[in-house]
Amino acid sequence: MNVQDVLNDKVAQELLASKEMASLAYTWRDGTPRAVPIWFQWTGSQVVMCSPVNAPKIKVLESRPEVAVSIYNNTWPYHALYLRGTVKVERFDGVAPELVGISEHYAGPDFANAWISQNRASGLKWARIELAPTYAALIDCETRFPSASSAVFRSLLGIS
């Protein structure tokens, strides 16, 4: 399957529209891996995340933009979407445009309005982190199993 076929899959679309947090993985300055939970928004072609400009990950992502993003649920049957690519980081002198919609999606409009108002009043600067995936894969533990345990899953579920 190519990237777009995976992203258009029903399971991928459910995860991309969900309130599950993403895990953003990147390589730190010293070459060691890092992974952080982060809210995101799917635009139809990009995963957009926001972070304060002064967060340590912003400088690192600007110099080491290769990332992996995982989005998965926590209930059986488990679903997981794996994405990879190169991020673009855009800095703002205030709130990144997507922060409003992302905050509303995860925490509701009351929280989002208060959160955005506080951010604007504080003068905190935000960054937009954009990933247009160049790799995408799915596991749904129903028809697409982790490769290492595929035979075991198929046997347990009576699938030949």
DSSP state letter for 30:
T
- In whole numbers, what is the pLDDT of the chain averaged over residues? 89
Spatial neighbors of 89 by CB under 8 A, at least 6 apart, are: 58, 61, 62, 65, 127, 128, 129, 130
Residue whose pair of structure tokens reads 């992502």 in the numeric block: 61
- The closest of 135, 41, 131 to 87, measured between CA atoms, is 131
What is the predicted pLDDT for the residue at 63?
97
- Measured CA distances, 110 to 51, 114, 122 (Å): 20, 6, 18
pTM of the model: 0.86
Cα(10)–Cα(81) distance, rounded to whole angstroms? 11
Band the pLDDT of 142: cuts 50, 70, 90. low
CATH code for the domain in which residue 32 is found: 2.30.110.10
Q: What confidence tens digit (pLDDT) does each residue in 27-48 have?
A: 999 999 999 999 999 999 999 9
Q: What confidence tens digit (pLDDT) does each residue in 41-95 have?
A: 999 999 999 999 999 999 999 999 999 999 999 888 889 999 999 999 999 999 9
What is the predicted pLDDT for the residue at 150?
46
What is the predicted pLDDT for the residue at 151?
45
Residue type present at position 142: E
Q: What confidence tens digit (pLDDT) does each residue in 93-108 have?
A: 999 999 999 999 999 9
What is the predicted pLDDT for the residue at 129?
98
- Measured CA distances, 90 to 3, 51, 126, 135, 145 (Å): 24, 10, 9, 22, 36
- The domain in which residue 147 lies consists of 3-157
Question: Would you say residue 12 has pLDDT above 50?
Answer: yes
Q: How many domains does the chain have?
A: 1
